[in-house]
């Protein structure tokens, strides 16, 4: 387990979320969603909060909303689909 993943799991638990929120095959990182990601498309966004630039994972429904918002406000699109998913 990477240092980022260890720190993220600890923070998730402290905040009362599933331990694997935002992690690969875990749960969507959006607090109001938390959809299970196992076996489903993963979208990722850089974690600017910790300045590690690690990837945080989101479900497709949330990614679609983020992308629509980014385009609406003319900002760079933040979400990228994981292409090499098993
Ligand atoms: Zn979601």
What pLDDT score does 86 carry? 58
Rounded to 5 degrees, φ, ψ at 52 are -95, -15
Q: What is the mean pLDDT of residues 28-34?
A: 97
Rounded CA-CA distance 77/83 in Å is 17
pLDDT cut 90: percent of the chain above it? 86
Ligand 1: centre distance to CA 84 (Å): 20
Centre of ligand 1 to C-alpha 32, Å, is: 8
Report CA(17)–ligand 1 centroid distance (Å). 14
Residue 53 has pLDDT above 80, yes or no: yes
In angstroms, the CA 61 to CA 56 distance is: 15
Ligand 1 centre to CA of 58 (Å) is 5
Q: What is the distance, to the nearest Å, from the Cα of residue 2 to the centroid of all Cα atoms in its chain?
A: 16
Instruction: Record the pTM.
Output: 0.92
Q: How far is the CA of 52 from the centre of ligand 1 (A)?
A: 22
1, 41, 49, 83 from 56: Cα distances, Å: 15, 13, 11, 15
């Amino acid at each position: 387990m990477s240092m980022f993943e260890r720190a993220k799991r600890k923070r998730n638990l402290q905040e009362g979320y599933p331990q694997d929120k935002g992690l690969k095959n875990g749960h969507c990182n959006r607090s109001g969603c938390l959809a299970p990601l196992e076996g489903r498309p993963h979208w990722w966004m850089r974690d600017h909060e910790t300045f590690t630039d690690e990837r945080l994972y989101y479900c497709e429904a949330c990614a679609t909303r983020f992308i629509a918002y980014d385009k609406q406000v003319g900002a760079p699109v933040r979400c990228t689909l994981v292409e090499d998913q098993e």
